Structures are given as C-alpha cells and as structure tokens.
Amino acid sequence: MALYHRTSNRTPLTLDVKIRHMGKDIGETCTRNISPFGAFIEMPESELSTDDFVEMYFMDEVKKDAYLLQKGLITHSSQEGIGVLFAYDSAEFREMLHEKMMKRHQNKIFSS
C-alpha cells in the first residue's frame, strides 16, 4: 500500500480553514470533504504541491472561535485544491470534527 493512497472514506463537509506553508499565510478557504485522517481543501490555483507540509487552522466555534491546529502532508494537488494527510491526531480536533459530522448527519435526517 502506498502512502499516497487514501484508505478511509471522507464525509462531504465544509469547514473554514486557514492555510500556512513555511511560515507564510497562504489563505483562507474551506474543506470539500474530511475525515479524522485527512481532507480535501479547495484551493484553486494553489502554489502548493505534492509533498509540501502545511499547517491548517480550523475554527472551533464551541471554544469561542479558537483555532485548532492540524499539520499535514499534501498527497494530492489539482486545479481544484489539495488533498492532505494529517500528520497527527489531537483530541480537541477529533472532538470538534465529531460534533460537526453529527450535526451534519442530524440536519440531513431532518431535511429528508
């Protein structure tokens, strides 16, 4: 199995994220889909490429608009954005992501 092959399913979920690379702010954007292991982040015309290491700051509204840091390796780059494999797993990030996924699931059930 190659490192660059995604082995888990991602949930279609839009989360705001700030991207930094080598100490430089790249921009504010959003995820297209995400899992506890990685995400696809919309970044048209990105200057980033495969094997770049990035810092991602996700907004945690529950904690008064604090940012949760995730670091990751870009495993895929296209005209639409970047696929990122998260480098580590923090309890705070996993909790925030679980809450967002549950809220999305509940909204989907109620709207059906």
Q: State the pTM of this model.
A: 0.85
Whole-number Å distance between alpha carbons of 98 and 80: 26
pLDDT digit string, tens, across residues 34-79: 999 999 999 988 889 999 999 999 988 777 778 999 999 999 999 9
Which residues lie across from 90 on neighbouring strands?
none
Who has greater pLDDT, 65 or 21?
21
The whole-number average pLDDT for the span 18-40 is: 96
Least confident of 21-25, 49-53, 69-73, 108-112: 108-112
